[in-house]
Amino acid sequence: MDSNIPDDGESLSKSERRRTRILQMLMSGATAQIRDLAEALGVSLMTVHRDLAALEKEGLVRRLRGAVSAEKSLLFESSYNYRGRKQVEEKRRLARAAVARLEPGNAVVCDDSTTTYYICDFIEEMTPLTVITNAVPILERLKTVPEIDLIAAGGRYHAGYNGYFGAVCERTLRSFHVDVAIMSTTTIQGLSLFTPDEIVVRAKQAMMEIARRKILLADATKFQFTALNYVAQITDFDLVLLTGDVPAANLEQLRKAGVAFELV
């Protein structure tokens, strides 16, 4: 397992969700007023100060006279690791179930998510495979694995997502046709998938276009978030693998929409 993604198996608490959101808000490199963060999150100044103190202790942010900014040298790498620490066991269950749906000889495209990363723990069971990805952790993990033909979807490196994005990445992806896309999502709202960043949207949509079958991986926390940018409908996926305590109302909505899903 990658040492940059510790296996703590914790559930994402309310405070951790806020802190992840704070990191997302600061990833542009801008300085934010702490009072504005409190208003955007709908919490008290005291609550935000507690969250910022925890993030500052991890070396992610710097507070100065009522404002906060990202630590430029540490934020982007650490924000990926921060997300990667959460729901590790759930992510591994999802990844194991996804790999079980592959067949030797398949060509597979994988997105940059910290969930999809964990296919690396199981993928040797299904080799030989061709794997295409824009995710640096997956490239690093699989580059020495026998019988995997590894293809990097290049482009402009984005440290916050630890992957390659942009026009070059999208053109590269669209030059292939693959058997399976394995993807995750920031959030599921109703029957729609959303993510905070437009560049991630475009890469994910390119992956969906080139895949004969599409598998979505999502733990229960994905139904708790909101995000700005629309990615796709959940009905666009051939199989949705879910884990954790997914609300019964959400499961019923998926059933009524005819979504093929499994709890793992």
Q: What is the DSSP string of 177-204?
A: -EEEEEEE-SEEETTEEEES-HHHHHHH
* Contacts (Cβ under 8 Å, ≥6 apart) of 206: 169, 170, 173, 174
Average pLDDT over residues 27-47: 85
Q: Return d(Cα 192, Cα 232) in angstroms, integer.
A: 6
Quote the pTM value: 0.73
Q: What tens digit of pLDDT does each residue of 249-262 get?
A: 999 999 999 999 99
In the numeric block, which tokens belong to residue 167? Answer: 């026009």
Q: Return d(Cα 184, Cα 215) in angstroms, integer.
A: 8
User: What does DSSP say about strands 178-184 and 107-110: parallel, antiparallel, or unpaired?
Assistant: parallel
Q: Return d(Cα 2, Cα 20) in angstroms, integer.
A: 21
Q: Can the peptide bond before residue 196 be classed as cis, meaning omega within 30 degrees of 0?
A: no
pLDDT at 231: 96
pLDDT at 70: 66
Q: Where does the pLDDT of residue 83 fall: very low under 50, low under 70, confident under 90, or very high at 90 and above?
A: low
Domains of the chain (ranges, CATH numbers): 14-83 (1.10.10.10), 87-263 (3.40.50.1360)
| Cβ neighbours around 152 below 10 Å, total | 18
Q: Return d(Cα 79, Cα 254) in angstroms, integer.
A: 31
Q: What tens digit of pLDDT does each residue of 209-236 get?
A: 999 999 999 999 888 877 788 999 999 9
Running DSSP on this structure, what letter comes out for residue 85?
A: T
Mean per-residue pLDDT of the chain: 87
